[in-house]
Amino acid sequence: MIEKRKPLAVKEAINQVMEYSVVGKGEKVTLQESYGRFLAEDLIADHPVPPFDRSPYDGYAIRSIDTIHAQSDHPIEFEVIDEIGAGSVSDYTLGRMQAIRIMTGAQMPVGSDAVVMLELTKMFQQDNKSFMSIKRPFKKGDNVSFKGEDTPEGSVLVKKGTYITPGVIALLATFGYEKVSVVKKPKIGIIATGSELLNVGEPLVPGKIRNSNSYMIEAQARRSGAAPVFLGKLVDDLEKCYDAIASALEKVDFLITTGGVSVGDYDYLPEIYKRLGANVLFNKVAMRPGSVTTVAELNGKLLFGLSGNPSACYVGFELFVRPIVRIFLNSNHPHLQKVTATLGEDFPKPNPFTRFVRGVISMENGQVLATPVGLDKSNVVTSLAEANAFIVLPGGTRGYKAGDTVDVLLIEDQTGSEQPWAESFK
Amino acid sequence: MIEKRKPLAVKEAINQVMEYSVVGKGEKVTLQESYGRFLAEDLIADHPVPPFDRSPYDGYAIRSIDTIHAQSDHPIEFEVIDEIGAGSVSDYTLGRMQAIRIMTGAQMPVGSDAVVMLELTKMFQQDNKSFMSIKRPFKKGDNVSFKGEDTPEGSVLVKKGTYITPGVIALLATFGYEKVSVVKKPKIGIIATGSELLNVGEPLVPGKIRNSNSYMIEAQARRSGAAPVFLGKLVDDLEKCYDAIASALEKVDFLITTGGVSVGDYDYLPEIYKRLGANVLFNKVAMRPGSVTTVAELNGKLLFGLSGNPSACYVGFELFVRPIVRIFLNSNHPHLQKVTATLGEDFPKPNPFTRFVRGVISMENGQVLATPVGLDKSNVVTSLAEANAFIVLPGGTRGYKAGDTVDVLLIEDQTGSEQPWAESFK
């Protein structure tokens, strides 16, 4: 009657899911629309930076050789023969004891090899000519930004799969990317199951709770870089659920269901996977919360059966769905960023399975501290709002002490990790 | 001729800008649209959580008193009189030696005071009746989630001004917020000035560079929570710039210009502020990059004159504009999150002014390490793409050594700090 399930190690479960990862196709968007997306192609420098020798300051372009004898009690005078605004180029070639007024960012005139900052000069007029004087010598190359010194032409500046930040946008603009090739967002279908679920706008009645999981997952999907599609909330009815899931599968890249994966009498997902002919990768994971997390695959398309419990659902998404989204987006760091931290408080509960404890990380005096938030009961929804990390407590212990070194997964981070686990992570 | 400007300490400059901060108005959006926005009102629990005593597991609701004598060699049998799916309520009152089958999340039936997990029971049929037996005693309250144990009704769950994460969305859904009151995004006008600026789609020509700042600032504005409006790219022409800025001011909450704030001959912003009758708060800050950052105010509306140099522009936005946006969004942690870290590399340059060095933070073995990326020349645009932090190196030193403790500002973080500086921060 009661199905006996063998729990799979978290590491093994993630590995099995990752075998079905696929990479998405690119699409062109405008530079402005590319913020927060993921590069589908390497960002290449179409020109050297700076594109020409230029002045990083307002001042005068000079020949350094003319300044050798300048001293504070022996100023040297230069005739100012031209001035170059940013974006302009001088037609003059600088001769002996000549200077050209140059603005920040302007191209160095022919013959010049150094720039004197405006503040270090004294200007004066004589015989209807302009002059300036300086009181110290300059070396060849002083205050010159050389062509290509930042970036040689053709270099790969940012790798495909990178999350597009404002800094990346600046680079894309600099290198002429009016349109940017980003990876098309994977379409994730979301179906909430459970007869106990009310719509958010409905008043509470005995025995029922409001559907929060599908909204939460939608936001998690957005954060991960995917395009969520909410496909409805279903009561626990085998036929209806089967039809909804079968038709949903045709419309999306991945499908998430919440609820219905336990061993209870109303948990229809196992039966539905069977009818679909889906290959169930696992239906129990050695972790808390989220032990009933189930992942199946049908013709290479992944079906994530997440727990109906909000915390378990949340963890299930971040551990199993997020890396699949990130691989789709071409990232080579698909998993949540893993860092090591010092545990900020005792965690005295025995730990038969690896536990993902909601926590907050803080950085003080060069130390990373990870502190659990609230109780860690599976049904505590409030702590999800505060948490910015999961503290990973490997199973097989009687608990952990403040001061222990622990692995921590960062939830609100876009950097990611190549691997989801440390050695200790079973 | 050359205007002498007195540099203001960073701390003082930020303080002066913050005096003109204003808080924005709220608007209602759907729960789905609220992801990534900022709460305009406290999130209040409209009911206790759980809303009723409920079972966190699949199992049987029982009276604990009936289990006192259960032992492994002395199982005790219960008649199963009903079953409750999630979302349903039993009409029965549990009597002596009776059990009711209960699903995860379902309401405890009247008379019951504990739940036995399915795995710990044995089921059998006899005389057309259902029975189950258990082999150990349970205490009152075992495996029961009590009404309100997570959250009492009426509690403030999340404060206004909070960034709406997936966890906050789960809470909003749970408490019936079909529509969410979020702060209207401030409208930030962006004008790029500089005759050297090409459009992104234009080929490079001698002396010119592509306009990257306005795209970068747009993305920074989006990341900060604002709605950027690009109002054009202007050549260095006093009249045109004046007209554009004067008319832009009427359409936006804040205005950012890039370029034109140095002391060069083509830097018209100082003259424009004068003509507008704007009150210039400062036009020089004791920092690198970004020393020419200028902030003015006209009838309480802030005009940010950021440097035309990309790095200086970036820093200027994060230090001066972001906190103004966040106060508008009702946050009480408006500044970039400040943490302390260990410097990962020597920084041997003398530091007359406080320096904001682009860096990457990493967390290993419980330590926060901050490492400068690339050269820190003001015109190095590539390092902006890699950086996720500014390493703050207070002025007045001959440099810093690897291993020194430094303040670091996190760029890609939504948490924020109440204050932007440490004591050392001048």
- pLDDT digit string, tens, across residues B339-377: 999 999 998 888 888 999 999 999 888 899 999 987 545
Q: Compare CB distances from A206 to B52, B119, B309 and report the shortest one's residue.
A: B52
Chain A: residue whose CA lies nearest to B415: A388
Phi, psi of B402, deg, nearest 5: -55, 135
> In terms of Cα–Cα distance, which of B23, B96, B98, B25 is closest to B61?
B98
Contact B213/A at CB under 8 A:
yes
> In terms of Cα–Cα distance, which of A366, A419, A422 is closest to A391?
A422
Please give the pLDDT value at position A1. Answer: 39
The yes-or-no verdict on residue A379 having pLDDT over 70 is no
Long-range (24+ apart) CB contacts under 8 A made by A64-68 are A64/A113, A64/A114, A64/A137, A64/A138, A64/A139, A64/A140, A64/A141, A64/A142, A65/A140, A66/A96, A66/A97, A67/A114, A67/A116, A67/A134, A67/A136, A67/A137, A67/A138, A68/A137
Please give the pLDDT value at position B1. Answer: 39
Please give the pLDDT value at position B322. Answer: 98
Q: Compare CB distances from A86 to B103, B106, B266 and report the shortest one's residue.
A: B266
Tokens 């970068």 belong to B216
Chain B: residue whose CA lies nearest to A32: B215
Chain B: residue whose CA lies nearest to A222: B35
Please give the pLDDT value at position B273. Answer: 95
Contact B157/A at CB under 8 A:
yes
User: Quick one: pLDDT band at residue B244, thresholds 50, 70, 90?
Assistant: very high
- State both tokens at B425: 């921060």
Phi, psi of A256, deg, nearest 5: -115, 130
- State both tokens at A380: 């505590």
CA A330/CA A160 separation, integer angstroms: 7
Residues 6+ apart with CB under 8 A from B127: none
Mean pLDDT confidence for A193-201: 92
- Alpha carbon of B121: minimum distance to chain A alpha carbons (Å): 11
Most A CBs within 10 A among B46, B108, B180, B216, hence the mutation to make, goes to B216
Tokens 């009102």 belong to B41
Q: What percent of chain B has pLDDT over 90?
A: 74
CA atoms within 13 A on the CB side of B328: 22
Q: Are A312 and A289 in contact (CB under 8 A)?
A: yes
Q: Contacts of residue A207 in chain B, CB cutoff 8 Å? A: 52, 84, 86-89, 106-107
The yes-or-no verdict on residue B422 having pLDDT over 80 is no
| Domains with residue ranges and CATH for chain B | 10-24+185-328 (3.40.980.10), 30-46+158-183 (3.90.105.10), 59-134 (2.170.190.11), 337-410 (2.40.340.10)
Q: Contacts of residue B388 in chain A, CB cutoff 8 Å? A: 415
Q: What percent of chain A has pLDDT over 70?
A: 95
SS (H, E, C) chain B: CCCCCCCECHHHHHHHHHCCCCCCCEEEEECHHHCCCEECCCEECCCCECCCCECCCCEEEECHHHHCCCECCECEEEEEEEEECCCCCCCCECCCCEEEEECCCCECCECCCEEEEHHHEEEEEECCEEEEEECCCCCCCCCCECCCCCECCCCEEECCCCECCHHHHHHHHHCCCCEEEEECCCEEEEEEECCCEECCCCCCCCCCEECCHHHHHHHHHHHHCCEEEEEEEECCCHHHHHHHHHHHHCCCCEEEEECCCCCCCCCCHHHHHHHHCCEEEECCECEECCCCCEEEEECCEEEEEECCCHHHHHHHHHHHHHHHHHHHCCCCCCECEEEEEEECCCECCCECCEEEEEEEEEEECCEEEEEECCCCCCCCCHHHHHCCEEEEECCCECCECCCCEEEEEECCCCCCECCCCCCCCC
- State both tokens at A41: 């192609």
Largest Cα span, chain A: 108
> In terms of Cα–Cα distance, which of A110, A16, A119, A127 is closest to A63?
A110
Please give the pLDDT value at position B342. Answer: 94
Chain A: residue whose CA lies nearest to B89: A207
Mean pLDDT confidence for A152-173: 93
Helices (H), A115-265: 166-174, 213-224, 238-249
Please give the pLDDT value at position A378. Answer: 44
Most A CBs within 10 A among B214, B382, B390, hence the mutation to make, goes to B382
Report CB contact under 8 Å: B415, A203. no
- Alpha carbon of A14: minimum distance to chain B alpha carbons (Å): 22
- State both tokens at A4: 């006996």
Tokens 């403790």 belong to B405
Q: Contacts of residue B341 in chain A, CB cutoff 8 Å? A: 363, 366
Q: Which of residues 268-307 of A touch B (CB under 8 A)?
A: none
Please give the pLDDT value at position A151. Answer: 81
CA B277/CA B273 separation, integer angstroms: 6
Query: How many other C-beta atoms lie within 10 A of the C-beta of residue B233?
Result: 19
The yes-or-no verdict on residue A155 having pLDDT over 50 is yes
CA B186/CA A319 separation, integer angstroms: 35
Q: Which of residues 8-47 of B touch A (CB under 8 A)?
A: 31-32, 35-36, 47
Q: Which of residues 327-366 of B touch A (CB under 8 A)?
A: 339-342, 362-366
A253 to each of A229, A249, A299, how far by Cα in Å? 11, 8, 12
Helix, strand, or coil here: A322?
helix
Helix, strand, or coil here: A145?
strand
Q: Are A140 and A123 in contact (CB under 8 A)?
A: no
User: Quick one: pLDDT band at residue B380, thresholds 50, 70, 90?
Assistant: low
Chain A: residue whose CA lies nearest to B374: A150
- pLDDT digit string, tens, across residues B101-145: 999 888 999 999 999 999 999 999 999 999 999 999 999 999 999
Query: How many other C-beta atoms lie within 10 A of the C-beta of residue B125?
Result: 9
Report CB contact under 8 Å: A223, B339. no
- CA torsion, points A324, A328, A331, A332, in degrees to nearest 10? 60
- State both tokens at B147: 């009404």
> In terms of Cα–Cα distance, which of A96, A121, A95, A90 is closest to A108?
A90
- Amino acid letter, residue B106: A
Phi, psi of A120, deg, nearest 5: -95, 10
- Amino acid letter, residue B229: V
Query: How many other C-beta atoms lie within 10 A of the C-beta of residue A419?
Result: 12
Please give the pLDDT value at position B398. Answer: 84
Q: Are A172 and A30 in contact (CB under 8 A)?
A: no
Question: How many residues appear in chain B?
Answer: 426
User: Quick one: pLDDT band at residue B50, thresholds 50, 70, 90?
Assistant: confident
Please give the pLDDT value at position A351. Answer: 80
Chain B: residue whose CA lies nearest to A89: B207
Helix, strand, or coil here: A107?
strand
Continuous segment of H or E residues that includes residue A386: helix A382-386
The yes-or-no verdict on residue A2 having pLDDT over 80 is no
Task: Give, in degrees to the nearest 5, the angle at Cα B36 between B31 and B41.
Answer: 65
- pLDDT digit string, tens, across residues A356-378: 999 999 988 889 999 998 754 54
- pLDDT digit string, tens, across residues B164-221: 999 999 999 999 999 999 999 999 999 999 988 999 999 988 778 899 999 999 999 9
The yes-or-no verdict on residue A350 having pLDDT over 70 is yes
- State both tokens at A116: 């004197």
Report CB contact under 8 Å: A145, B377. yes
User: Quick one: pLDDT band at residue A87, thresholds 50, 70, 90?
Assistant: confident
Phi, psi of A357, deg, nearest 5: -95, 130
> In terms of Cα–Cα distance, which of A239, A238, A286, A281 is closest to A392?
A286
Helices (H), A225-295: 238-249, 269-276
Report CB contact under 8 Å: A150, B368. no
- pLDDT digit string, tens, across residues A38-80: 999 999 998 888 889 999 889 999 999 999 999 999 999 999 9
Report CB contact under 8 Å: B218, A177. no
CA B143/CA B246 separation, integer angstroms: 67
CA B331/CA B323 separation, integer angstroms: 9
CA A371/CA A342 separation, integer angstroms: 9
Give buried/exposed letters for A270-287 (b at 16+ CB in 10 A, else e): bebbeebebeebbbbbbb
Continuous segment of H or E residues that includes residue A18: helix A10-18
User: Quick one: pLDDT band at residue A267, thresholds 50, 70, 90?
Assistant: confident
Looking at per-residue pLDDT, the higher value among B260 and B78 belongs to: B78
Please give the pLDDT value at position B379. Answer: 43
- pLDDT digit string, tens, across residues A275-320: 999 999 999 999 999 999 999 999 999 999 999 988 899 999 999 9
